[in-house]
């Protein structure tokens, strides 16, 4: 070993000792990690993430084109039912604020500040798909569950209008404040329209039957409907929030405690058959 190699070896050894000491002082890995950062880095930087939106809207367009070809004079008018957050609008900046403020769980206060600012981004392919629907007289209905108090619906409408979406009006927007159950709204739309596709980032955007806190049951219900995905149900990726988190914690927005960080680590090592 040359003197240079020895110096390099000692430097590496010193660095390793420092990292170990810092980790020990900080009280273990749970204090050092931001669980949200990995998921958000993927959302912010991966071309694959954005490509999945194009894939979803390309599939949705194919289904609408097919329905347009198959309809006849007795058919009800065609419609699309779409979720809003993480489906046609991306709240990446909200998630960045959380990471920037060393938060690693959903935070209602920061979310409620973000919503009225109209800073969500249009998801890749959303505008083109919605305009295609408009050009072909296929109505799009937005159904979202949010709660920012009495101005919730006003803020949601402003978000859609600020994005420049077609169908951004009161007639095409339903905001559910007290419940995430979208089925009564879906059924009301289906009375007058043939719903071609449902767009969402959460299985609950398609059917309430997926509203389960049991991980295996959610998985089994999804598998029962496997033929629907890419056909009637168009699913977009969301690694930062949704009912999959509720299935882990029993709560869609669990408090940012070390106990919950430990639960998340356990979930990461859990194998679902």
**Which one of the spans 68-76, 81-89, 151-159, 244-252 is the region binding Mg ion (CB under 5 A)?**
81-89
**Which one of the spans 80-88, 93-101, 168-176, 228-236 is the region binding Mg ion (CB under 5 A)?**
80-88
Are the C-beta atoms of 137 and 77 separated by less than 8 Å? yes
Beta bridge partners of 261: none
| Residues 244-273 contacting Mg ion, CB under 5 A | none
Any alpha helices (H) in 80-151, and if so which ranges? 92-100, 108-114, 126-135
Nearest to 170 by CA among 184, 182, 156, 183: 156
SS3 content of the chain, % helix, strand, coil (to 5): 55, 10, 30
Assess 86 for contact with Mg ion (CB under 5 A): yes
Min separation Cβ 85 and Mg ion, Å: 4
Assess 241 for contact with Mg ion (CB under 5 A): no
Alpha carbon distance 260, 267 (integer Å):
10
**Which one of the spans 86-94, 128-136, 190-198, 212-220 is the region binding Mg ion (CB under 5 A)?**
86-94
Binding marks (x or -) toward Mg ion, 191..220, rule CB under 5 A? ----------x-------------------
| Cβ nearer to Mg ion, comparing 104 with 241 | 241
Residue facing Mg ion at closest CB distance: 85
| Cβ nearer to Mg ion, comparing 78 with 89 | 89
Min separation Cβ 90 and Mg ion, Å: 10
Question: Judged by CB under 5 A, how many residues of this single chain contact Mg ion?
Answer: 4
Alpha carbon distance 78, 178 (integer Å):
29
Assess 139 for contact with Mg ion (CB under 5 A): no
How many CB atoms are located within 10 Å of the residue 193 CB? 18
Alpha carbon distance 197, 192 (integer Å):
15
Assess 85 for contact with Mg ion (CB under 5 A): yes
| Residue 155: partners with Cβ closer than 8 Å, 6 or more residues away | 115, 116, 146, 148
Q: Would you tell me which residues interact with Mg ion (CB under 5 A)?
A: 83, 85-86, 201
């Amino acid at each position: 070993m040359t003197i240079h190699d020895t110096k390099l070896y000692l430097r590496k050894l010193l660095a390793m000792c420092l990292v170990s000491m810092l980790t020990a002082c900080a009280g273990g890995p749970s204090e050092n990690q931001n669980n949200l950062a990995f998921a958000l880095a993927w959302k912010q930087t991966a071309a694959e993430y954005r490509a999945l939106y194009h894939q979803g809207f390309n599939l949705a367009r194919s289904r609408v084109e097919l329905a347009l070809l198959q309809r006849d004079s007795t058919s009800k008018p065609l419609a699309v039912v779409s979720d809003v957050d993480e489906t046609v609008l991306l709240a990446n900046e909200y998630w960045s604020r959380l990471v920037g403020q060393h938060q690693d769980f959903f935070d209602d206060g920061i979310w409620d500040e973000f919503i009225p600012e109209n800073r969500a981004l249009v998801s890749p392919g959303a505008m083109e798909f919605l305009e295609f629907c408009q050009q072909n007289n296929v109505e799009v209905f937005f159904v979202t569950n949010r709660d920012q108090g009495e101005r919730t619906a006003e803020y949601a409408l402003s978000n859609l209008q600020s994005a420049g979406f077609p169908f951004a009006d009161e007639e095409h927007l339903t905001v559910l404040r007290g419940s995430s159950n979208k089925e009564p709204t879906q059924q009301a739309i289906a009375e007058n329209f043939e719903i071609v596709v449902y767009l969402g980032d959460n299985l609950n955007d398609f059917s309430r039957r997926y509203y389960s806190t049991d991980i295996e049951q959610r998985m089994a219900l999804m598998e029962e409907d496997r033929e629907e995905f890419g056909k009637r149900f168009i699913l977009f990726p969301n690694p930062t929030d949704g009912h999959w988190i509720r299935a882990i914690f029993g709560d869609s927005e669990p408090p940012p405690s070390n106990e919950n960080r430990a639960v998340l680590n356990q979930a990461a090592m859990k194998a679902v058959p």
